[in-house]
Structure 1
Amino acid sequence: MQKPSMGRIVHYVDRRGNPFPAIVRVTYSGDSELVDLTAFTDRGTAEAGVRVRRCDEHKDNTWHWPERES
């Protein structure tokens, strides 16, 4: 199972359900699914996400690994 680490690129789903690329800034040593990240929006701004949980179902305010293209 992949674990997030500082500098890894993930996808962040904001509170409105919009996905954005993000970079992991902080990982938490007792919980490999919880991170702090910076998301880059389509408006050209960077938004901080604090204590964001992983969710492969792409629910609001969560992160997930980027899908693989074939």
Structure 2
Amino acid sequence: MAPDSAWHKSSYSGGSGDSCVEAADVTATHGGIGVRDSKDPQGPALLFTPTEWTSFVALLRTGTADFGTV
């Protein structure tokens, strides 16, 4: 989906680095934001539209995300 240099690890990944989420702006090539598991960089990635990504991040920041309903 994107070269390794385009992916950015979450600042909440912790010191051990073994439970990490990475995101890449692939708007130019795929029309959105890619999200992958850093332990499996060649594995599947999710693709969010810019609007979906903005909403997702806003929910995380406010603490109102309810992942039990996903």
With structure 2 as the length reference, what TM-score do the two structures score? Answer: 0.34
Whichever structure has more strand as a proportion of its residues is 1
Task: With a CA cutoff of 8 Å and minimum separation of 6, indicate the structure with the bigger relative contact order.
Answer: 1
Whichever structure has more helix as a proportion of its residues is 2
With structure 1 as the length reference, what TM-score do the two structures score? Answer: 0.34
If you compute each CA radius of gyration, which structure gives the higher value, 1 or 2? 2
